[in-house]
Amino acid sequence: AKQESGALSALVDEYCNVWCEPDPELRRQRLLPIWSHSATYTDPTVHAANSDELLAHITKVLARRPGSKVRRTSIVDAHHGCVRFAWHVVQADGTSLPEGIDFMEVDDEGKIQRVIGFFGPLARSEDQ
């Protein structure tokens, strides 16, 4: 069985908590200690080149689905500073959106350097 690192799990969980924090100033205070100065965030809807752009994007997302929470649904799988984990969004009414997966790079200081997110399950290949 894979063993997950407690430090990386805590980092990922705090990152998910940033996406749940309704107060913009508290959200900034939670993100900055774990976010490298040059870190980027990319998903199918946005490329954020810095913390300000990511925080602005999270503000827009939370405005569209107030009260929603991002929850990690898998172990944190990691090697060579690269991390992957599955997550889903639980909306305020308790319904869940389809699971996504994030790939994260962590720098030598243990801060997030890059996040690449994908939404929804991966379709099966026709050839399988």
Digit-coded pLDDT (tens) for 37-62: 999 999 999 999 999 999 999 999 99
Up-side HSE of residue 9: CA atoms within 13 Å toward CB? 9
- DSSP state letter for 20: H
**Mean pLDDT calculated for residue range 3-17:** 91
Reported as type and span, the H/E element at residue 96 is: none
Mean pLDDT of the chain: 94
Listed residue (117, 108, 109) closest to 16, CA to CA: 117
Q: pLDDT higher for 29 or 127?
A: 29
Model pTM score = 0.92
* Residue 103, strand partner residues: 84, 116
Residue 126, pLDDT > 90, answer no
**Mean pLDDT calculated for residue range 106-126:** 94
